[in-house]
Amino acid sequence: MSGKSSIIGSDDIVNSGNGYFKMKSHYKRNHFHVLGGLGEKLAELLIWIVIIAAIVWGVHWWFYVYPNTPGYALKSFIGAVNDGNPSKQYVWIAKSSKFYFPTEQVYKSKFPLARGLADRISSYHIINITTTPYKSSQGTEKAEANVSVGILKLNQKLYQDKTTPYTDQYFLIKQPDGWRIVLEKSKIYSILAAGSPTTY
């Protein structure tokens, strides 16, 4: 092997005393060091896989799962009530409720929440939502929710702390096109603060 560099030099081999030769222990240490480095890289890779999987799941839940929940429908409806937007509210009411309000214009002119609480909901909190199977021609599941709502008085500014608290009880049904509010089965006590549709 003259003229060629050797990976293992003569100084790295010792006589074991029984006719056999063995490598010095630092080769064993180097071997374990290589394995340790590989383990660290695998652990780092595993962490990245978990992080990416969590992000993918979060995106899937936010865009595909959450919009198909009763909580999303309820928040969308209450948000539209606070915006004073009857068109968006009408999207979130059940087919059975549209029997009483066959058109958006009828809803707007007849239902107090259509515009009566515009910019008057200072805060709200969904206390709980209970979902159960529901055999009906209107849908396959139902949900009942209790919502704590703080209502500002008419012409009261948002920075004024005093609000009137209400606990509304919403009934929702899962129709083929998603969760919707069943107004006729809901007990929306905050409607008392809305006044008559003829006043706005």
Separation in Å, CA 180 to CA 49, 87, 121, 156: 38, 14, 21, 31
Q: What is the mean pLDDT of residues 58-64?
A: 77
Strand 141-151 to 164-175 pairing: antiparallel
Q: Helix/strand/coil (H, E, C) string of 114-183?
A: HCCCCCCEEEEEEEEEEEEECCCCCCCEEEEEEEEEEECCCCCCCCCCCCEEEEEEEEEEEECCEEEECH
The full set of domain ranges for the chain reads: 23-65, 69-199
- What was the pLDDT predicted at 38? 72
CB 124 within 8 A of CB 147: yes
Q: What is the mean pLDDT of residues 174-197?
A: 91
Yes or no: is domain 69-199 CATH 3.90.1200.10? no
Instruction: Look at the block and give the residue holding tokens 């080769």.
Output: 27
CB 184 within 8 A of CB 110: no
CB 72 within 8 A of CB 174: no
Question: Is the per-residue pLDDT at 135 higher than 50?
Answer: yes
Question: Is the per-residue pLDDT at 28 higher than 80?
Answer: no
**pTM summary value:** 0.71
Contacts of 173 (CB under 8 A, 6+ apart): 94, 96, 134, 136, 138, 139, 141, 142, 143, 179, 180, 182
List the end-to-end C-alpha distance of the chain, in Å, as a whole number.
Answer: 101
Question: Is the per-residue pLDDT at 10 higher than 60?
Answer: no
The 10s digit of each residue's pLDDT in 163-177 is 899 999 999 999 999
The 10s digit of each residue's pLDDT in 65-86 is 788 999 999 999 999 999 999 9
149, with CB counted inside 10 A (0-12, 13-18, 19+), is buried
- What was the pLDDT predicted at 139? 79
How sure is the predictor about 190, in pLDDT bands with cuts at 50, 70 and 90? Answer: very high
Q: In this structure, what token pair is assigned to residue 54?
A: 């969590």
Bridge partners for 21 per DSSP: 15
